[in-house]
Amino acid sequence: MAAVAVALLLGGVWGYTRLKSPYPFFGTAYDARPAAAAFTGTDQDNRAFSFTPDGKTTTALFFGFTHCPNICPLSLTYLTKVRQSLPAAEQENFRVMMVSVDPSRDTPTRLREYATFFGKATAVNVPEPQLAAVARAYGVGYEKADVKSPDEYQINHTTASYLIDRNGKLRALWDYSQLPQVERVTADVRYVMQNPAP
């Protein structure tokens, strides 16, 4: 009964969001358009990285890790397909980005190998305790699981991807299960690129 009640509640929220949004997002819309949390770290090229609005780049942000066996590589694969499906002029202003939830193992070198596999994806290492604060700001949870040794473990984490417009506003999120529908995800991206929040 509790599961049914939760499902009905989430369905009601989803439906209400759809009715309120002027554009029928495939993902779940942020009607209030809150500012996406800024953060700093080190990117895959071992350079200082700062995530702040630049007035031109739309971002699909995902929290994952390079030892992830399935959800992370598949999420990045689908988001890369979304980028590749955009017109060439729009591709330059759309960034696929992963923030690692495994900063101790995901060194810049490992992140570079991983990000390169997904074309022009950006991968960022944010050290603890800053990572915990960034994850909390996005509503992301993560914890170690199946720990066999200090260097051998998995991480359970939130699997949503966040769509952030060029002015740094959260516009929508997609559940992992939605990402395979590349055309519909791409439509959300194009709408947000053409209609950034003020």
Q: Under a CB-based contact definition with an 8 Å cutoff, are residues 67 and 154 in contact?
A: yes
Task: Give residue-wise pLDDT tens across range 117-137.
Answer: 988 899 999 999 999 999 999
Q: How far apart are CA 186 and CA 81, in angstroms?
A: 9
Q: How far apart are CA 144 and CA 93, in angstroms?
A: 34
Residue 118: per-residue pLDDT: 87
CATH class for the region spanning 25-194 = alpha beta
Q: Under a CB-based contact definition with an 8 Å cutoff, are residues 111 and 16 in contact?
A: no
Residue 7: per-residue pLDDT: 36
Residue 22: per-residue pLDDT: 74
Q: For the chain, 198 residues long, give each residue's pLDDT as a single digit of tens.
A: 433 333 333 344 444 444 456 789 999 999 999 999 999 999 999 999 999 999 999 999 999 999 999 999 999 999 999 999 999 999 999 999 999 999 999 999 999 999 999 888 999 999 999 999 999 999 999 999 999 999 899 999 999 999 999 999 999 999 999 999 999 999 999 999 999 999
Residue 18: per-residue pLDDT: 41
Residue 20: per-residue pLDDT: 52
Residue 142: per-residue pLDDT: 98
Residue 21: per-residue pLDDT: 60
Q: Under a CB-based contact definition with an 8 Å cutoff, are residues 159 and 150 in contact?
A: no
Integer angstrom CA distances of residue 180 from 20, 75, 93? 25, 8, 22
> Would you list the DSSP string of 22-49?
SS--SSEE-TT-PBPPPEEEEETTS-EE
